[in-house]
Structure 1
Amino acid sequence: MSAPYNDEKRYVVGVIGDIPALLTFWQLFKDQTNDQVLKDIGIVAAALPGETVLPEAHDENRQIPTYAGYRAMLESHPEINMVIETTGRTGLVHELRGYLPASITLVERGAANFFINLLTKDQIWVACKADLLHTQNMLKTIIDQLDQEILFLDRDGTVIGMNKTLADRVGRPKHTLMGRSYRELFRGTGDPENGYDVDPVGQTLKDQVPAETVTSQVGEDGRVQYFRIYTYPVFDEDGKSVNHVVAIRRDITQRTAIENRLQQAEKLASIGELSTYMAHEIRNPLFTISGFANSLMRAEGMDDKAREKLSIILDESKRLDEILKALMNFTRPTEAQVAEMDVNALVEATMDVMSLPCANQGVEPSVSLDTSVARVRANPDLIKQCLINLIKNALEAMEGGGKLFVTTGMNRDSVLLSVEDTGIGVAPEIRDKVFSPFFSTKGKGAGLGLAQTHKIIDELGGEVDLVSKVGLGTKVTLHLPPLLAVAESEKSE
C-alpha cells in the first residue's frame, strides 16, 4: 500500500481507464487546466482494468502509481475522494456506482469532458483579464506621466477620475477629490465674475463637440498663471448622447509671457515710427504756439483773464513737449555708458533722496542690504531711474500710508533688487498691461515709467518680476546680471 497523499489538495483523484483513454484524458487535462486549478486537484493513482503492462505516469515531478484494477487502487489509496472514469463503458460505470462508497465522488467521462471545457473557458477568461489589466495599467501609466492635468467627468460635471499630475498639483490623494465639481479644481472656468463666461464643459455637453477656453488664477505666491482648458465628449455605445467629458488643462504661462514680449516688441516698433512722425509734425507747430503765447504774455495792455488763459496754453504746451521728449527717449535705444557698480551703494544714495517723499506720505521705509551681493555692470543713472520709478509707483499705491521695503540679494544667476509695498495691489485683469507704454491707472503722466524700467533691464539682459495680491501689496524685483569673474580676468590680461 502506498503512503497517503499529503499535499492538502481539495480533490484527491484516482483515474480509471484503458491506456488510450487515460493518455488522452491526461494530455487534455494537463493542457487545458491552469495553475490555480492544479493547486486544488491532485491525481494520486491510475487504474487500468485488464492491463498487465502498466505505463508510467507523472504529476508535478513525481511518479503516479498504476494498478491493474480500481479495487487495488482504492485499497492502496484510501485518501482518494474522487474517481474519474475515462472509458465511457456502460458496464464499468454501472459496476463503479455500486461499489464506490458515498464519500467518493464518481465523475463519468461525459462529465469530465464538460468540466475540462469549463476549465478551458476559465483559462481564456483569466488570459483576457490579464490582458485587460495590462492594457489598463499601460493606459494609466501614460496618462499619469503627461504634464497636462486631466479630469474625467460625468454629465453633471462631477469628478469621477483624474491623473496623477493633477492630484500632485493639488497636493491631496485622488480619493479625496472624487465627487467634487470640476470648477473646484479648474478655478476660473465658466466663472463670469473672473471674466471667463465660456464654460467648455457646459458647451461640450450642450453641443456635443470639443470646446476650449483660457483662464488665469493668482497662486499663493502672488504670481499669475495662465491655463488653456480643452474638453472632449465621450459618447455612449450608440454614439448619440454624451455621458462623460474629458477635461484637459495645460499651463500656458510661459507661452503667454513670450507672446507678451513679442507684442511688446511690435508695439515698441510701432511707437518708434510714430514718434519720428510726431517729432517732425507736432513739435514744430508746438514751438510756434509756445513762442506766440510767450510774446502775448509780454505784451502791454493784456488783462489778467487773458494772461491766465495764455499761462494755461504755455503749461499745456510744455506738458505736451515733455510727453514727446519722454516718448522719443523711450523709443530710442539705450546708449548710456555702462560701468561696474555697487547696487547697495546705489540703493543707499537713492533712499536718501526718496526718504522725504516717504515721510510726507506717512510711509515707513525699510532697507535691507545683502553685503555679499555681487557687483553689476550697468549704467548707475539708469538703474537709479528704475529704482525711483518703482518707489514712486509704490508710494502712489499707499496714499493712506504704509510700509516700503527695499532689499538686495542674490540667487544663482542674478543680483536681485526688490521694492515691495503694502498698498492696494494690482488687479489680475490689468497685470499684463502694467509694463505696456502709455498704460496708467493714475490719470496723469505718460504711463511710461514701468515700461521704461522693463526696457532698461531687458537691454541689460535681466528680467523684471512682479508679484501682487489685491489688498495686500505688490513686489517688483529686478534681476540684474552679475559681473562675472571671466570679465575681470580678460581685462587683466
Structure 2
Amino acid sequence: MAAQFNDDMRYVIGVIGDIPALLAFWQMFKDQSNDQVLKEIGVVAAALPGETVLPETHDSGQLIPTYAGYRSMLENHPEINMVIEATGRTALVHELRNYLPASVTLVERNAANFFINLLTSDKIWVACKVDLLHTQNMLKTIIDQMDQEILFLNGQGTILDLNKTALDHAGRSKKALVGMSYREIFLDSGKAENGYASDPLAETVETHAPAETVTNMVDEHGRMQYYRVYTFPVFDEDESVNHVVALRRNITQRTSIEQRLQQAEKLASIGELSTYMAHEIRNPLFTISGFANSLMRVEGLDEKAREKLSIILDESRRLDVILKSLMNFTRPTEAEVAEVDLNALVKATMDVMSLPCTNQGVECTVDLDESVALVHANPDLIKQCLINLVKNSLEAMEEGGNLFVTTGMNRDFALLSVEDTGVGIPLEIRDKVFSPFFSTKGKGSGLGLAQTHKILDEIGGDIELVSREGIGTKITLYLPPILAVAEPEETE
C-alpha cells in the first residue's frame, strides 16, 4: 500500500490516528485497493499524537515515516494534499480544521470510509467492464468460427445479430440483414419433409422449449441443399422468452447418405420380390403365351379371335420384358470391367443418337476434353447410361431445344455430363427420380436413372443432378479414372 510520491498521484495522503484506528484504516485500505487505485492514491506519512514510542510502520517492503504530531508530519511532507483523521475524536477534528491550509483537504473517519469505497468501486467497475468486453470478444470469436449459421432474434423472429457464417451465406451486409425476419433467411425458399417448412420459432415461444424443422432449397447452381433449423429459448428473470437463438445446419451430405441407404433397402426388397415373381409369374406366363401361340395356328380362326389372341401375346411379351428388367436390375452386374476411352465411347454413341435429336428439332453439341483420363468401367454399361440420359433429355424437350454432352476431369474423377434446355425437374419429385419404378412419362418401367445410379455405385463412381424448372437439367456421371500404378502380377 505504501507509495513513493510522484507527480501523477491525485491524492497524496497523510494519516492521523492512534495505533488501533490506524491499523483498522490500514486493513480497510489494503482490502479495498487494487493496482489501479494505488496509481492515484499514496499514503506517504502517518502521525500518532500522544504516543511516546513511535512504532516502525512497514507495508509491501516500504517504510512509512511516522511522527508524534501532525504538524511535524506536514512540515516534513509538504506534498500532502489530503489528511485523513482516523480516530474520530471531535476535538482533534476541530483543531485540524483551524490549522490546515486551504490546499489540504481534511477527511474525517466516516467520510474516509465512504471516499475509499467509492473510489475503489469505480475502479472495480472499470475492471469489470474490461473483463466483460474481453469475454464478449472471446464469445463472438468462437461463435463466428462455428460452421453453423446462427441468428439472434427477439420473440417475434426479428434478427438482432448474426454470426459471420450466416453473414457470408446470405451474401448481404449486416446492416441489411438486421431487422429482417429470420424466416426470410432460414425458411423462405424451402419445403419441409412433409409440406412447407414449419416454423420452430413459434413452437419455441409457445412451449418455452427448443424446436426444429427440416427445410430444403435449390442453390444458385441448381443443386438441392437440405438444412435443419433449430431454435432455442433465452429466458429473462421472470422465466418468459424474450429472445431466441436460431441455428441452421447444412445436412445435405447426411441426407444423401440416408437416401442411399433407403435405396439399398428398396433394392434388397425388390430382389426378394423379383425372385418370387420369377417363380410364381413367369411359369404361368409361359403357359399362357404357349397356348395363345397354339391357338393362333389353328385353321379357320376368325379375325376377332385372332385379334384377341394377338393382344394376349403382346401383353405377355410386355410383362416378360418387365420381369427381365426387374431381375436384371436387382442382380449385380457381372459385366467385365476394362479400360474405357471415354471420348471415343461418347463420340460413337452420339453418332447413333444424332438422328433422334435431329428428328425432334434438338441441336446437339458434343464437347470432348482431350485431357480426360481412361476410366475403369464396362463400355457397354456406360454406353447404356449415356443413351438413357440422352433419351430423358429428348423427352424433356418435346418442342426442340439444345443438348450438350461434355467430358472433363476434376481432382478425383473423369466427368461425363448431359445437359438439356428442357422443362426441368419439379422440386417436389427431385428426391424420387433415382428411385426404382418412378416415372413421370406414363410409360416404361421407371428403371433408367435407377439403373444408371446402380451402375455408377458398383464401379465406385457417383452421379449428380442439377435442375431448374423451366431452364433445364444437367446430370453428371463421375467415373473412376485408371490410376498410373503397376498392376499386380498374376501367379500360377
TM-score tier by shorter-chain length is: 0.7 to 0.9
Say yes or no: does 1:382 pair with 2:381: yes
State the partner residue of 2:485: 486
**AA aligned opposite 1:158:** T
After TM superposition, give the deviation of residue 387 of structure 1 in Å.
1.0
When structure 1 is superposed on structure 2, of 260-269 and 194-203 the one drifting more is 194-203
After TM superposition, give the deviation of residue 486 of structure 1 in Å.
2.3
Say yes or no: does 1:445 pair with 2:444: yes
After TM superposition, the structure 1 = structure 2 runs for residues 51-450 of structure 1, keeping only pairs within 5 Å, are 69-74=69-74, 79-119=79-119, 121=121, 140=140, 143-172=143-172, 174=174, 176-188=176-188, 195-239=195-239, 241-297=240-296, 307-450=306-449
Determine the C-alpha separation between the residues in 1 that align with 2:370 and 2:35.
Answer: 73
Determine the C-alpha separation between the residues in 1 that align with 2:338 and 2:25.
Answer: 96
CA deviations 1:423-452 (Å, max 9, x no partner) are: 222222211111111111111111111111
Say yes or no: does 1:469 pair with 2:439: no
Q: 1:461 to 1:193 in 2, by over 3 A?
A: closer
2:197/2:214 contact within 8 Å kept: no
After TM superposition, give the deviation of residue 78 of structure 1 in Å.
5.1
- The alignment of Structure 1 onto Structure 2 pairs a total of residues equal to 489
**AA aligned opposite 1:389:** N
**AA aligned opposite 2:203:** Q
Determine the C-alpha separation between the residues in 2 that align with 1:175 and 1:397.
Answer: 43
2:440 aligned counterpart, secondary structure: coil
When structure 1 is superposed on structure 2, of 338-347 and 245-254 the one drifting more is 245-254
Q: Could you state the TM-score of these two structures normalised by the residue count of structure 2?
A: 0.86
2:476 aligned counterpart, secondary structure: strand
After TM superposition, give the deviation of residue 397 of structure 1 in Å.
1.5
2:432 aligned counterpart, secondary structure: coil
2:190/2:216 contact within 8 Å kept: no
Q: 1:8 to 1:120 in 2, by over 3 A?
A: closer
Determine the C-alpha separation between the residues in 2 that align with 1:214 and 1:360.
Answer: 44
CA deviations 1:301-336 (Å, max 9, x no partner) are: 555555544444433333222222211211121011
CA deviations 1:116-167 (Å, max 9, x no partner) are: 3445655665676667667656655555554433333322112234444433
1:189/1:199 contact within 8 Å kept: no
CA deviations 1:80-138 (Å, max 9, x no partner) are: 43222223332221111112233432101221123234456556656766676676566
1:14/1:80 contact within 8 Å kept: yes
Determine the C-alpha separation between the residues in 2 that align with 1:172 and 1:188.
Answer: 16
After TM superposition, give the deviation of residue 60 of structure 1 in Å.
9.5
Determine the C-alpha separation between the residues in 2 that align with 1:490 and 1:176.
Answer: 65
CA deviations 1:322-365 (Å, max 9, x no partner) are: 22221121112101112112111111111111111111122222
Determine the C-alpha separation between the residues in 2 that align with 1:490 and 1:111.
Answer: 98
Q: Could you state the TM-score of these two structures normalised by the residue count of structure 1?
A: 0.86
After TM superposition, give the deviation of residue 277 of structure 1 in Å.
2.2
Q: 1:182 to 1:382 in 2, by over 3 A?
A: same
1:189/1:198 contact within 8 Å kept: no
When structure 1 is superposed on structure 2, of 13-22 and 387-396 the one drifting more is 13-22
Identity of aligned residues (%): 77
Q: Structure 1 stretches of 5 or more lacking a match?
A: none
When structure 1 is superposed on structure 2, of 228-237 and 152-161 the one drifting more is 228-237
2:196 aligned counterpart, secondary structure: coil
Determine the C-alpha separation between the residues in 1 that align with 2:224 and 2:460.
Answer: 23
Structure 1 vs Structure 2 CA RMSD: 3.5
2:153 aligned counterpart, secondary structure: strand
CA deviations 1:219-253 (Å, max 9, x no partner) are: 122221212223334444343x4333333333222
Determine the C-alpha separation between the residues in 1 that align with 2:235 and 2:189.
Answer: 23
Determine the C-alpha separation between the residues in 2 that align with 1:50 and 1:103.
Answer: 26
CA deviations 1:155-203 (Å, max 9, x no partner) are: 2112234444433433456555332211122125896899225222222
State the partner residue of 1:9: 9
1:336 aligned counterpart, secondary structure: coil
Determine the C-alpha separation between the residues in 2 that align with 1:54 and 1:355.
Answer: 115
Determine the C-alpha separation between the residues in 1 that align with 2:259 and 2:184.
Answer: 28
1:424 aligned counterpart, secondary structure: coil
After TM superposition, give the deviation of residue 384 of structure 1 in Å.
0.7
1:365 aligned counterpart, secondary structure: strand
2:232/2:246 contact within 8 Å kept: yes
**AA aligned opposite 1:350:** T
1:432 aligned counterpart, secondary structure: helix
